[in-house]
Amino acid sequence: MSQGMRLMCVHAHPDDESSKGAATMAKYVDSGADVLVVSCTGGERGDVLNPNLKDDPRILRDLAQVRRDEMAAAQAILGVDHHWLGFVDSGLPEGDPLPPLPVGCFALEPLEVPVEALVREIRRFRPHVMTTYDENGGYPHPDHIRTHEVAVAAFDAAGDPTAYPEAGEPWQPLKLYYNGGFSKARITAYHEALVAAGQESPYGEWLEKWDRPERTVTTRVPCSDWFERRDNALIAHATQIDPQGWFFKVPREIQAQIWPYDEYEAAASYVPIADGEDCLFAGLGEPAEADARAGAPGELALDRRVARVAS
């Protein structure tokens, strides 16, 4: 079903693509789809989260270049194409009260500036499907929230010939999904599996403090055969992940048994979303048919916007 189809995954920073939907991307690449990751920022203000690298002089000297090199390594592992949208990481403000965001950062850019940049890339790559974050950013990092705003606005504008006419010929992606990420149901399943196996779980305290509503899940893509590729891509972002950390505490064989898929929430679609959907390209038909629909946006009607938070 994915042979000849095109998927664009819009993320805030390098490494986000490897922790959110990476197994899905690798699966589709192997089945003949073209997959493009768009990184809105360079991750220049990210912390070094791997304790083994905190004092590495090369990293301290030029973190921006290190993040570019890590992204290239992860890209090669996943087999995807990649595009830097070109904006500057906003950093994650901490403190009470929170400090102001740095001048010139992505989160403070006038919305139309990154939207035009993404519309231009959508019209160049011509994706049938896009993925990004929900309105909360998956978690409330200012760049993740801004990425949501930019991706949704660009999805809506790309097919409008009156919007950003200098950015190329109109092209309307047919479906927009939010990445499911680490839902409470997934974390609970991991926690219970570790406890049942007599292993220490890092997730108990996380669950005790859980205060977020569950999202609506519309689509589960089976992709456990690509979990190893996902993990290798994430480890390639060496400054951002502790290879002994919580992300890798559940053995892949256990993950494959209890949670063998990536989850998504359909946010906008020009075709109906079937119950139990298991493919992001479902309902689009053959590539030529999908191309004809996306290339003639004036003839499309938005059939469904799925409720964003489960009741």
Contact residues for 43 (Cβ-Cβ < 8 A; gap 6+): 13, 14, 15, 64, 67, 89, 240
Alpha-carbon span 124 to 7, nearest angstrom: 13
Compute, in degrees rounded to 10, the torsion defined by CA atoms 212, 218, 221, 227: 0
Tell me which residue of 20, 26, 13, 6 sits closest to 225, measured CA to CA. 26
Alpha helices in 126-183 (DSSP H): 142-157
Amino acid at 172: Q
- 183 burial (CB, 10 Å; 0-12 / 13-18 / 19+) is middle
- DSSP single-letter state for residue 229: H
Alpha-carbon span 212 to 159, nearest angstrom: 34
- Secondary structure class of 220 (helix, strand, coil): strand
Q: Give the tokens for residue 60.
A: 């301290």
- For 135-149, give the DSSP string: TT-SS--HHHHHHHH
Compute, in degrees rounded to 10, the torsion defined by CA atoms 51, 55, 58, 64: 60
Q: Which residues contribute to the annotated binding site?
A: 13, 16, 144
Q: Which residues contribute to the annotated binding site for Zn(2+)?
A: 13, 16, 144
